[in-house]
Structures are given as C-alpha cells and as structure tokens.
Structure 1
C-alpha cells in the first residue's frame, strides 16, 4: 500500500507542476521585458481558465499535503 501511495504522490507532483506552469503570471516578468509586452495581449488566456487552474492547484496541493503526511506516518509506524 505504501508503494502505491508513493506512485500516486509522483503522479500528483507531475500534475501539480503542470497546472502551475499553465497558469498565467500576475505580472509580465521577464517575458514582458524581453519582448516589450506587445505580444502578451495576443496570448491572454480566458479569465475562466485562470480561475479553474487556480482551483485545481489548490485541490492538488491539498491532496499532495495529505498524501505526504500519510506516507510519512506509515513509513515511521509500520503496521
């Protein structure tokens, strides 16, 4: 059971990183400095997608936290 939990944790990690990278940043960052910010207006994501990705990030982060606690507990307390 512990091995399966570790596999799920790796999958959660990959999903969490992917969802975070899909989100648009709060500011232009370096991409705005390099390109002048002119092409950023053309590549804006719909507002609904950003809010959905934000909610998915929170849910994945909670699952990640709980699964990490589960693995840590059962690694130190074998039953």
Structure 2
C-alpha cells in the first residue's frame, strides 16, 4: 500500500510542477514603483484556460497534501 501511494505521490508532484510552470506570470515592471496597489484594487477573475489551470493546481495540491499525510500515517504504523 505504501509503495502504491508513494508512486501516485510522485506522479502528482510531477503533474503539479508542470501545471504551475504552465501558468502565465502576473508581474509587470511598474509594480515595483506603484507598490503593488494595482494588484490589490485591479484584481480581475481568471477566465478560460487560466481559470482551468488554477482549478487544476488547487485540486492537485489538495491531493498532494492528502497523500503526504496518508504516507506519514502509514510510515508511523
């Protein structure tokens, strides 16, 4: 059981790295001059493919956390 969960954890972590790397950056050069106020007040919801990537990242992160906790529980028994 431990080996199967560890293999799934490795696959999930690889997918998580790829998904995070695919996300577009949201920084611009002017944000250092404005103090980031444009990010605070000008926040827009992600749409389309970007929203899909965010949703997949949250799901994979949750699965990663759950598998990590399960492996820790199994290793202590």
Tell me which interval the TM-score lies in, with the shorter structure as reference length. 0.7 to 0.9
Instruction: State TM-score, norm by structure 2.
Output: 0.74
Please give the residue correspondences for 1:58-77 in structure 2 after superposition, counting only pairs within 5 Å.
58-77=58-77
Q: CA-atom RMSD, angstroms?
A: 1.2
State how many pairs are aligned: 60
Instruction: Indicate the structure whose relative CO is greater, using CA pairs within 8 Å and at least 6 residues apart.
Output: 2
The 3-state SS of whatever aligns with 1:52 is: helix
1:26 aligns with 2:44: no
Extract structure 1 runs of 4+ deviating beyond 6 A: none
Structure 2 residue runs without a partner (length 5+)? 30-46
Structure 1 residue runs without a partner (length 5+)? 30-46
Instruction: State TM-score, norm by structure 1.
Output: 0.72
